[in-house]
């Protein structure tokens, strides 16, 4: 623990050559633990990494991936990557020992809750990834931790989509929905019974667009403060190319630089 307090804080973005030191494969995803030989910069929950895909002619651009966990002591980060197209398939197929060139940390993370907030972290599919590290930063934050604890509401199509649940259970109470009812309550996250029983005043959501829109709708109806993390298609990841824009109340904003986390009050949906 001592070294944690002696650590020099680095707030710059960095390009780091990581080495994959651990790997866990899932049906259509992989968890990669990446180790850096140099000190990691400070990373906020909800920020992302832009990962270069080497040796894949269908992936010219980097792939933006949520940061799932960070260990400053060992200089490692965890990325939970879903196989979508050729680029992410290539990343998920990388073996332990492979090098991975990563730009991080990018974008703005979730806003830290206040002491008395009753918070709910809602994740759908691979969108569960950034919520773990965000929950950890809430607990480790210098301010008093959220008194009522962290509640996760995680949704998937089937139980296969819900990975690494033990990790989430270490950080808070976990509630689950699946579309087919194979785990937790059957239905969408917005249909879970906790909405009627739990007192919530802040929602943080990450997942597929229809899920986040549904969560935003619930939040609006109930008058709950809500942040969502978008994943518009990006080219540069640092606010230069203006490709990943979301049309907001303030006009077109880069999701990579102004987001990926937005308060729903800024959005048009």
Partner 1 sequence: MVKTEIKLKGLTLKNPVMTASGTFGYGEEYADFVDLSELGGIIVKGTTLHHREGNPYPRMAETPMGMLNCVGLQNKGVDYFIETIYPRIRHYDTNVIVNVSGSNIDDYVAAAAKIDALDDVPAIELNVSCPNVKQGGMAFGVTCSGIEQVTKAVREVYHKHLMVKLSPNVTNIAEIALAAEAAGADSVSLINTLLGMAIDAETRKPVLSMVTGGLSGACVKPVALRMVWQVSKAVKIPVIGLGGISSATDAIEFLLAGASAIQIGTANFIDPAISGKVAKGIVEYCEKHGVEDVNELVGGLIL
From candidates 6, 9, 55, 57, binder to partner 1 by CB under 8 A: 57
First-residue to last-residue Cα distance in the chain: 44
223 or 251: CB nearest partner 1: 251
Size (the chain), residues: 269
From candidates 59, 132, 135, 218, binder to partner 1 by CB under 8 A: 59
Least Å from the CB of residue 53 to partner 1 = 10
Residue 257 in contact with partner 1, rule: CB under 8 A: yes
Residue 122 in contact with partner 1, rule: CB under 8 A: no
Beta strand 119-124 with 150-156 is parallel
H or E element that contains 133: helix 129-140
Q: Give yes or no for a contact between 63 and 83, defined as CB atoms under 8 angstroms apart.
A: no
Residue 209 in contact with partner 1, rule: CB under 8 A: no
With contacts defined by CB under 8 A, how many residues of the chain interact with partner 1? 31
Residue 243 in contact with partner 1, rule: CB under 8 A: yes
Q: Compute the distance between CA of residue 91 and CA of residue 76 in angstroms, rounded to an integer.
A: 17
Q: Compute the distance between CA of residue 13 and CA of residue 209 in angstroms, rounded to an integer.
A: 28
Residue 266 in contact with partner 1, rule: CB under 8 A: no
Least Å from the CB of residue 246 to partner 1 = 7
Q: Compute the distance between CA of residue 177 and CA of residue 153 in angstroms, rounded to an integer.
A: 8
Tokens representing residue 231 in the block:
């994943």
Least Å from the CB of residue 169 to partner 1 = 36
Q: Give yes or no for a contact between 242 and 229, defined as CB atoms under 8 angstroms apart.
A: no
Tokens representing residue 215 in the block:
């969560």
From candidates 25, 158, 252, 263, binder to partner 1 by CB under 8 A: 252
The separation between CA 51 and the C-alpha centre of its own chain, rounded to angstroms, equals: 15
From candidates 60, 74, 93, 210, binder to partner 1 by CB under 8 A: 60
From candidates 208, 232, 248, 266, binder to partner 1 by CB under 8 A: 232
Beta strand 150-156 with 245-248 is unpaired
Residue 145 in contact with partner 1, rule: CB under 8 A: no
Q: Compute the distance between CA of residue 262 and CA of residue 219 in angstroms, rounded to an integer.
A: 14
**Coil, strand or helix at 213:** helix
Residue 237 in contact with partner 1, rule: CB under 8 A: yes
Residue 194 in contact with partner 1, rule: CB under 8 A: no
State the Rg of the chain over Cα. Answer: 18
> Which segment (26-34, 176-184, 234-242, 260-268) binds partner 1 by CB under 8 A?
234-242
φ and ψ at residue 214, rounded to 5 degrees: -65, -40
> Which segment (19-27, 54-62, 156-164, 211-219) binds partner 1 by CB under 8 A?
54-62
21 or 240: CB nearest partner 1: 240
165 or 238: CB nearest partner 1: 238
Residue 251 in contact with partner 1, rule: CB under 8 A: yes
Could you list the residues that contact partner 1 (CB under 8 A)?
12-15, 52, 57-62, 103, 232-247, 251-252, 257
């Amino acid at each position: 623990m001592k070294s944690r307090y002696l650590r020099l804080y680095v707030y710059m973005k960095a390009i780091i050559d990581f080495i994959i030191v651990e790997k866990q494969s899932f049906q259509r995803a992989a968890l990669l633990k990446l180790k850096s030989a140099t000190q990691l910069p400070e990373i906020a929950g909800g920020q992302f990494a832009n990962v270069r895909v080497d040796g894949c002619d269908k992936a010219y651009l980097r792939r933006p991936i949520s940061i799932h966990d960070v260990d400053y002591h060992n200089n490692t980060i965890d990325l939970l990557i879903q196989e979508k197209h050729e680029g992410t398939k290539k990343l998920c197929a990388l073996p332990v020992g492979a090098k991975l060139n990563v730009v991080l940390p990018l974008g703005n993370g979730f806003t830290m809750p206040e002491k008395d907030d009753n918070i709910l972290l809602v994740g759908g599919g691979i969108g569960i990834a950034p919520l773990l590290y965000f929950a950890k930063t809430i607990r480790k934050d210098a301010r008093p931790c959220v008194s009522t604890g962290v509640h996760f509401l995680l949704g998937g199509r089937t139980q296969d989509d819900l990975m690494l649940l033990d990790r989430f259970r270490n950080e808070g109470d976990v509630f689950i929905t699946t579309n087919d009812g194979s785990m937790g309550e059957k239905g969408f996250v917005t249909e879970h019974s906790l909405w009627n029983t739990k007192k919530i005043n802040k929602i943080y959501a990450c997942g597929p667009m229809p899920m986040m829109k549904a969560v935003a709708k619930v939040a609006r109806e109930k008058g709950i403060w809500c942040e969502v993390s978008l994943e518009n298609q990006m080219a540069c990841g640092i606010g230069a190319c203006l490709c990943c824009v979301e049309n907001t109340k303030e006009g077109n904003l880069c999701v990579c630089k102004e987001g990926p986390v937005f308060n729903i009050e800024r959005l048009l949906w």
